[in-house]
Amino acid sequence: MKKILALLLTTTIAVSLLSGCIRTDYQKDKVKFLASFYPIYIMALNIVDGVEGVEVDCMAEVQVGCLHDFKLSTDNMRDIEKSDGFIINGAGMEGFIEDIANRVDGLHIIDSSTGISLLADGHHHDEDEDEHDHEHEDEHNHDHGEYNAHLWVSVANCIKQVENITEGIIKIDPDHEKEYRKNSKEYIAKLTKLQNEMESGLANISDRNIITFHEAFDYFAEEFNLNIVSVIEREPGSEPNAKDLASIIDLTNETGVKALFVEPQYPNTSADIIAAETDAKVYTLDPGVSGDMNKDAYITMMQENLKVLQKALA
């Protein structure tokens, strides 16, 4: 009998060591969802708000911002493995997602980008900027893929993402469907009101040419009829050299752009240099990749962006 028990114990240990990232049926009293990063977390937080026995966490630290160069840690993998559903932005933002899907057996991935019309990465760049991209391709390899992944900065896209996340959560936890749909409906109503406020607040602005820090605001510009003449940095960290700065300065003077928009998550050194050589002023627009961990953070952030745009483009 002792030999049989010892054999069973040895077999159990061996199976545990070999299992790696294979999911198991955890004995737990909560349904756990994991959002890839901050804006997705805020959407999910609204959907599960107040639902008993359900929680949502954010995988990436708030300070990370966009997942441009994000490297998964052992703790990240453990959190993903233990989640009932991993909620992602999609559109190439989470470049590591295919690897995760291959490593974690049975993982439920909720892709919030489903059904959204995607913009090509760098779609507004001119030939000079394309040349700049090639020059820095080896030095700054921040490629998400062929599409711009900053979907949530458009309110219309955010609404669609909330809808997608809601359906994905319900598939995983149908027992709370009624509560999820109620929360989702209420949040979408708030987002629709915000969208109307943005449209109304920007309707009479005549000067719609802007220069942004990087490609975070392409969907936003498309939604609210703004024209992004150029971007200062293709991706955060790919600072323009002297030639690039001179080109943007010339373009700013030629087009008469009055507003340069930086982001609170990154330094505005390059924008200050451009402003010093032109009539343009520097303002801050927040793409919502970091902020307060409360469910109204996105709406508050967008309302502040509206005020900034009205002041800058008046």
List, for residues 194-208, the tens digit of each pLDDT value.
999 999 999 999 899
Is 126's pLDDT higher than 60? Answer: no
In this prediction, residue 121 has a pLDDT band, given cuts at 50, 70 and 90, of confident
Task: Give the model's pLDDT for residue 188.
Answer: 98
What is the maximum span of the chain, computed from C-alpha positions, in angstroms? Answer: 89
This prediction has a pTM of: 0.85
The 10s digit of each residue's pLDDT in 133-162 is: 433 333 333 344 689 999 999 999 999 999
Q: Report which of residues 274 and 69 the model is more confident about.
A: 274
Do residues 223 and 156 touch, judged by C-beta distance below 8 A? yes
Mean pLDDT, range 217-235, rounded to an integer: 93
List the Cα angle 79/63/259 in 5-degree steps.
Answer: 140
φ/ψ of residue 54, rounded to 5: -130, 135
Give the pLDDT score at 132: 39
CB of 89 closer than 8 Å to CB of 151: yes
pLDDT at 65 over 80: no
Contact 87, 44 (CB under 8 A): yes
User: Residue 50's pLDDT band (boundaries 50, 70, 90)?
Assistant: very high
Structure tokens at 158: 């955010």
Backbone angles phi and psi of 112, in degrees to 5: -75, -10
pLDDT at residue 314, as a whole number: 85
Confidence (pLDDT) at 289: 95
Query: Which pLDDT belongs to residue 66?
Result: 86
Domains of the chain: 30-112+151-202 (3.40.50.1980), 204-313 (3.40.50.1980)
Distance CA 99, CA 97 (A): 5
Does residue 8 or residue 79 have the better pLDDT? 79
- Give the model's pLDDT for residue 266: 87
Q: Which of 3-12, 15-24, 157-166 has the lowest mean pLDDT?
A: 15-24
Q: What is the mean pLDDT of residues 211-230?
A: 96
Closest CA to 246 of 128, 165, 147: 128
Residue in the structure block whose two tokens are 């394309």? 130
Share in percent of the chain as helix, strand, coil (round to 5): 50, 10, 40
Span 228-282, pLDDT tens digits: 999 998 766 678 899 999 999 999 999 999 999 999 988 899 999 999 999 999 9
Whether the pLDDT of residue 294 is over 50: the answer is yes
The pLDDT, as a whole number, for residue 29 is 79
Q: What pLDDT is attached to residue 239?
A: 80
Give the model's confidence band at 6: pLDDT under 50 very low, under 70 low, under 90 confident, else very high. Answer: very low
Collapsed DSSP state (helix, strand, coil) of residue 254: helix
- pLDDT for residue 215: 92
Cα 196 to chain centroid distance, Å, stands at 22
From 155, 153, 225, select the one nearest 191 (Cα to Cα): 155
Q: How confident is the model at residue 28 (pLDDT cuts 50, 70, 90)?
A: low
User: Which residue reads 């969907």 in tokens?
Assistant: 219
